[in-house]
Structure 1
Amino acid sequence: MADEVARITGRGVAETRRLSGGDTAAAFAVRLDDGTEVFAKSTSPSMPGAAAAEAASLRWLAEPGVVAVPEVFGEGENCLVTEHVATAPPSARAAEELGRGLARLHAAGAPAFGSPPPGGPADAWIGLAPMRNEPEEDWPAFYARHRVQPYVHRGVDEGVLSAESAKVLDQVCESLAELAGPAEPPARLHGDLWSGNVHWGRDRAWLIDPAAHGGHRETDLAMLHLFGSPQLDRIVEAYSEVHPLAEGWRDRIALHQLFPLLVHAVLFGGGYAVQAVQAARRALASH
């Protein structure tokens, strides 16, 4: 790791310290010979293109200048080096700033639903799972073809989903045009915005570990609701001040949670499959 960081940064490495956490990569705090501390992560060779995809995602999210995103110093085939951000307790002020920034980030837009970040690969990753970014004309087509159906098929093939469960999920895909709510333009999404990917620093919250793409802005909000987030009510309230969400968006949270639940089902087992089917039934019942 030290040699790769030195190659990417063009500086010598004085100290490398392994950090805890991270289920897709080994993470390190690295002090360079000029005293600068950077963050480095090594991605698995079994996830080709992961470092490049994340680097492109971070740069794309940073481009509008409306949210805090670690600066990318460079990437290699299986290594990413970014700005290191110290951790601090969540605060109301940081949450409100995050909500307003997230609304402006979404409004910055994307070329199409399913479009990857500029320079980013179409074949990307969400956690340990492959994720295809393929532009489509509308969100229902994109969500069905490239988010829900691939994981339903994989879940059935691997015995995680029953044929009966798959039928419920297929019904959601067939009804997406009616379930999706008012049409929205493509938003610039973080793409994996669960609470662990909001890094609370001093005075503000940072977005890390993105799986960015063009999508529906309610998806990021639904991800924050999936496992909970500190100061979530303040985040949503501040978001709504800048870019109010369409009527009924809370009823569509379950619909947008289908993708991460299916990803968790194929990675971690059947308990998440049950939750995915329950979410599908709620989505159908909400219409």
Structure 2
Amino acid sequence: MNVAPLSQVFEAEIASTQPLQGGDISEVMKVALADGRKMAVKRGAQVDTEARMLAAMAATGAPVPQVLHQSGDLLCLEWLEETRPSPAGWQALGAGLRQLHNSTGRTYGWPEDYGFGALPIRNAVSENWPEFWARQRLLPFLPALPMPMARRLEALARALPERLPARPPSALLHGDLWTGNALFGEGRAWMIDPACYHGDPEVDLAMLELFGSPPAEFWAGYGPESPGRAERRAIYQLFPALVHLKLFGTAYQGMVARLISAVGI
């Protein structure tokens, strides 16, 4: 990654660079300037969209890294020192997510489409939540499924008006909130690498539970859950499971099948 132009942007020489583990969307590097400042620098085709998403999240008061600079395919973010998750950190994550979800819109979706790596994510705005979830989050994956499983997913999509509320709160969602996208500090937590849109706040909770179980401190920070959330969890977990199936192959077919069965289809 060529970060030389940043010396002019920040009016300081670059002292060191260190490649970091990134996601499927961007290269990531730790950059230290000669004046002692540090930042996380990402390079990718969609970093301008990410910068706008982080700005939208920050406007709600939710804890996210500050955007220091964005130009072309480069995004510079505040450097955050990471520690092991603590009870206080988990509670802070719950409180921060609630702060994000308290910001609501009038419709579901997002002004821009996004993507996980080469996989496009459609965000076309809708006023009907079950319709949005069917058209933008489930049905696009039908070609990736064996025919019997595809038919079951289609049946679930048709049944969504009876399974999901038509007009849940249109919360601002992180959109990809697993533990790898939560960064913990001393008694703090930040949300990173968003894939924002407006939708049912239970979507973020279901994603956080897909590969683990947040501790009690998280729920103490987040606050009360909506009645019936357990019955909707598998419907919302299907989307990230389908993303994993598309990106990483048939090893995730079993997860998708289990989740479809969990909703009784």
Q: TM-score, normalised by structure 1?
A: 0.86
One-letter amino acid matched to 2:59: E
- How far apart are residue 255 of structure 1 and its match? 0.5
Establish whether residue 267 from structure 1 lines up as the match of residue 263 from structure 2. no
Cα deviations across residues 27-57 of structure 1 (Å, max 9, x unaligned)?
A: 11111232100111122xxxx4x11111111
Residue 112 of structure 1 corresponds to: 107
Q: Where does structure 1 lack aligned partners over 5 or more consecutive residues?
A: 117-121, 156-160
User: Could you tell me which residue of structure 2 aligns to residue 158 of structure 1?
Assistant: none
Asked if 1:148 corresponds to 2:132, the answer is: no
Equivalent of 2:77, from 79, 82, 85? 82
What SS does the aligned partner of 2:263 have? helix
1:136 aligns with 2:137: no
Q: CA deviation at 1:7?
A: 5.2
Structure 2 CA distance for aligned equivalents of residues 11 and 125 of structure 1:
34
Measured at CA, do residues 228 and 70 of structure 1 come closer, stay the same or move farther in structure 2, by a change above 3 Å?
Answer: same
Aligned to 1:53: 49
Query: What is the CA-CA distance between 1:93 and the residue it aligns to?
Result: 1.1
Aligned equivalents of 1:16, 1:177: Cα separation in 2: 51
CA distance in 1 between counterparts of 2:15 and 2:33 reads: 5
C-alpha change, 1:7 and 1:225, in structure 2 (3 Å) is farther
Distance 1:249 1:8 in 2: 47
Give CA deviations for 1:91-122 in whole Å, capped at 9, x if unaligned. Answer: 11121122122112101113420124xxxxx2
SS in 2 for 1:86: coil
Aligned mates of 1:88, 1:201 — CA distance in 2: 5
SS at match of 2:40: strand
1:232 aligned to 211, 215, 219, which one?
Answer: 215
**Relative to 1, partners in 2 of residues 1:36 and 1:276: Cα closer, same or farther, differing over 3 Å?**
same
Count of aligned positions: 264
Q: What percent identity do the matched residue pairs reach?
A: 36
Alpha-carbon distance in structure 2 between the residues aligned to 1:5 and 1:150: 39
Alpha-carbon distance change, 32 to 110 in structure 1, aligned in 2, over 3 angstroms: farther
* 1:142 alignment partner AA: F
CA contact (8 A) 2:24 2:116 kept: no
Of the three residues 125, 131, 152, the one matched with 2:115 is 125
**Contact preservation (8 Å) 1:188, 1:213:** yes
Does structure 1 residue 22 correspond to structure 2 residue 5? Answer: no
Q: CA, structure 1 residues 74+275, in 2 after alignment: closer, same or farther (shift >3 Å)? A: same
Q: Distance in 1 between matches of 2:13 and 2:123?
A: 37
Letter of the 2:251 counterpart:
G
Q: Helix, strand or coil: the match of 2:264?
A: helix
Query: 2:10, 2:154 → 1: CA distance?
Result: 48
SS at match of 1:284: coil
How far residue 10 of structure 1 moved from its aligned partner, in angstroms, is 4.8
Corresponding residue to 1:170 among 128, 151, 154: 154
Q: Which runs of 5+ in 2 are unaligned?
A: none
- Going from structure 1 to structure 2, the CA distance change for 1:204 and 1:128 (only over 3 Å counts) comes to farther
Structure 1 contact 52–76 (Cα < 8 Å) conserved? yes
Q: TM-score, normalised by structure 2?
A: 0.93
Counterpart CA distance in 1 for 2:8 and 2:115 is 25
Match of 2:14 in 1: 13
